[in-house]
C-alpha cells in the first residue's frame, strides 16, 4: 500500500476509484487502461495483476457502484420507521445524488448501453443490481402491505428519474418521481 498524506491507500481501491471517475466522465469505451494508470498512479503491471482485463476492472467498478448505491439508500432511510417513509426516502436519495457535479446518470444503465450487447458479464452485473434494487423495494412494499405490482412501479419511477435527470441536466426528475410515488403508494393502499 502506498502512503498518501500519511494514510495507507489500497492500490486496488485507487484503481477502482480512478476508473470509476473516468468511466463516469467519458464513458467506458473512451477510457483506455493507460488513462486509468495515469489517474490512479498505479503501474499497468500492477493494475493487470489486480484486474487481468479491462472487463474485470469494469465489473469491479460496477460492484463498487452497487455498494455505494446500497450505502446511499441505507443512509437516507436510517432512522425512518415506516416502510412508506423508506420508500419515499429513495427519491430523496436520488434528489441529493442528481444535484452533485459528478452525476452523469446511472453507471449501470450507462454501462449496459455501452457494453451490454458485447459483454455478457456486464449485462449480467447490471441485471443483478437492478434485480437487487427491485427486491429491496419489494420488501418495503410487502412490509407496507401493498400489492406486488407497486414495487415494480416504484422501481421504474426511480430508474426513469435517473435517466431523465441525466438527459435534462436537472434534479427535478427526483421531485417529480417522488410526487408520483406518493400518489401510487396512497392509491395502492386504498
Residue range 51-91, pLDDT digits in tens: 999 999 999 999 999 999 999 999 999 999 999 999 999 99
CATH 1.10.10.60 in the chain, residue ranges: 8-52
Residue 2 — pLDDT band, cuts 50, 70, 90? very low
Residue 8 has pLDDT above 80, yes or no: no
**Grid-cell match 438527459, residue found:** 167
Fold of 8-52: Arc Repressor Mutant, subunit A (1.10.10)
SS (H, E, C) the chain: CEEECCEEECHHHHHHHHHHHHHHHHCCCCCCHHHHHHHHCCCHHHHHHHCCCHHHHHHHHHHHHHHHHHHHHHHHHCCCCCHHHHHHHHHHHHHHHHCCCCCCCCHHHHHHHHHCCCCHHHHHHHHHHHHHHHHHHHHHHHHHCCCHHHHHHHHHHHHHHHHHHHHHCCCHHHHHHHHHHHHHHHHHCC
Contact by Cβ (8 Å): 163, 106: yes
Fold of 65-188: Tetracycline Repressor; domain 2 (1.10.357)
At 18-36, the pLDDT tens digits run 999 999 999 999 999 999 9
CATH 1.10.357.10 in the chain, residue ranges: 65-188
Per-residue confidence (pLDDT) for residue 9, from 0 to 100: 78
Neighbours of 7 (CB within 10 A): 8
Instruction: With CA atoms as reference, report the closest residue to 138 among 153, 148, 126.
Output: 148
CA distance 163 to 177: 12
Amino acid at each position: 500500500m502506498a502512503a498518501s498524506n500519511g494514510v495507507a491507500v489500497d492500490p486496488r481501491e485507487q484503481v477502482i476509484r480512478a476508473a470509476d471517475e473516468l468511466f463516469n466522465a467519458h464513458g467506458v469505451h473512451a477510457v483506455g487502461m493507460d488513462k486509468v494508470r495515469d489517474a490512479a498512479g498505479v503501474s499497468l503491471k500492477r493494475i493487470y495483476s489486480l484486474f487481468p482485463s479491462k472487463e474485470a476492472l469494469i465489473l469491479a467498478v460496477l460492484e463498487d457502484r452497487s455498494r455505494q448505491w446500497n450505502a446511499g439508500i441505507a443512509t437516507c432511510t436510517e432512522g425512518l420507521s415506516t416502510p412508506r417513509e423508506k420508500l419515499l426516502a429513495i427519491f430523496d436519495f436520488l434528489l441529493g445524488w442528481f444535484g452533485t457535479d459528478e452525476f452523469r446518470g446511472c453507471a449501470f444503465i450507462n454501462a449496459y448501453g455501452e457494453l451490454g450487447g458485447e459483454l455478457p458479464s456486464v449485462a449480467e452485473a447490471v441485471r443483478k443490481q437492478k434485480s437487487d434494487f427491485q427486491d429491496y423495494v419489494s420488501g418495503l412494499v410487502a412490509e407496507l402491505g401493498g400489492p406486488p405490482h407497486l414495487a415494480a412501479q416504484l422501481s421504474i419511477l426511480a430508474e426513469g428519474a435517473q435517466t431523465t435527470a441525466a438527459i435534462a441536466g436537472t434534479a427535478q426528475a427526483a421531485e417529480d418521481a417522488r410526487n408520483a410515488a406518493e400518489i401510487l403508494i396512497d392509491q395502492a393502499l386504498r
